[in-house]
Amino acid sequence: MTNPQAPQRKPRCQHITKSGQRCHADPQTGKDWCFMHDPEKKQKQAEAQKHGGEARTRQISPEVKLPPDLPVLQLESSANVYDLMFETVHHLHCGKMDTRSARALAYLSAILLRCIKSGQGHIVMLLSDTINKVRLGEIDLTTAKTVGHLASIMLIAMKQAAEEYAALEPAEPAPLPEAPSNSLAMLARHLGIESVPISFDGATPPDHHNVHPAALAGPNAGANGVANASAASQPLSSCL
């Protein structure tokens, strides 16, 4: 028999958690479950969680502030990037742009300068389009920074691919040494010997116009070994 004076326990939600504990929330009127554990309201629960997350995001992330009616810029050179940064500083000083947007533009512009220097035109166009969308408020800052990070990896990949391609190309053959004038010069070059000029100092070159006396000696030579005048006067062709 129930004691009428005993305190009545407050009803609780019938849901059992994963840890085996019972939910301590109050049940809905006329039901055994609270709102979050009511099986008939799963869709409403999901919508409530979504709206709660969006509200927390709005509270954490500050509002983006941009000047109105900004023109689309052609960002194709380092001078263009300089003008963009100068304009961004001006907007910050005037309070027309928030710091998060300015930092996003600076991050994308730094990668853009690297792409311009390396001549990656297709990545330059991608970053230029992203920067203009940030300035016009057409893209959120998280997505814009993600595009910049991906573009940075693309730039590294292009550089590495070029290095790998260069490594696969055959090396240019070494130039052949100059042909020596003769075999003696070739041997001297291999042995590391410098050419030594031949000196004729003190030696008399042969005189081809004067015939040596011994060539004139023959069977008609006298006792002194000198040929007679008649033999000497004969031409050399007759001696053959």
Q: What percent of the chain is modeled with pLDDT above 70?
A: 59
pLDDT of residue 88: 95
Domain ranges in the chain?
Answer: 15-60, 78-166
pTM of structure: 0.48
pLDDT of residue 186: 60
User: How many angstroms separate the CA atoms of 33 and 22, rounded?
Assistant: 11
Nearby residues of 194 by Cβ (< 8 Å), 6 or more positions away? 188
pLDDT of residue 31: 80
Q: What angle do CA 188, 193, 199 make, to 5 degrees?
A: 90
pLDDT of residue 167: 82
Lowest mean pLDDT among 117-121, 191-195, 207-211: 207-211
User: How many angstroms separate the CA atoms of 101 and 195, rounded?
Assistant: 76
Q: What's 22's DSSP letter?
A: B
Q: For 73-131, what is each residue's pLDDT tens digit? A: 999 999 999 999 999 999 999 999 999 999 999 999 999 999 999 999 999 999 999 99
Q: For 122-143, what is each residue's pLDDT tens digit? A: 999 999 999 999 999 999 999 9
User: How many angstroms separate the CA atoms of 20 and 33, rounded?
Assistant: 16
pLDDT of residue 34: 84
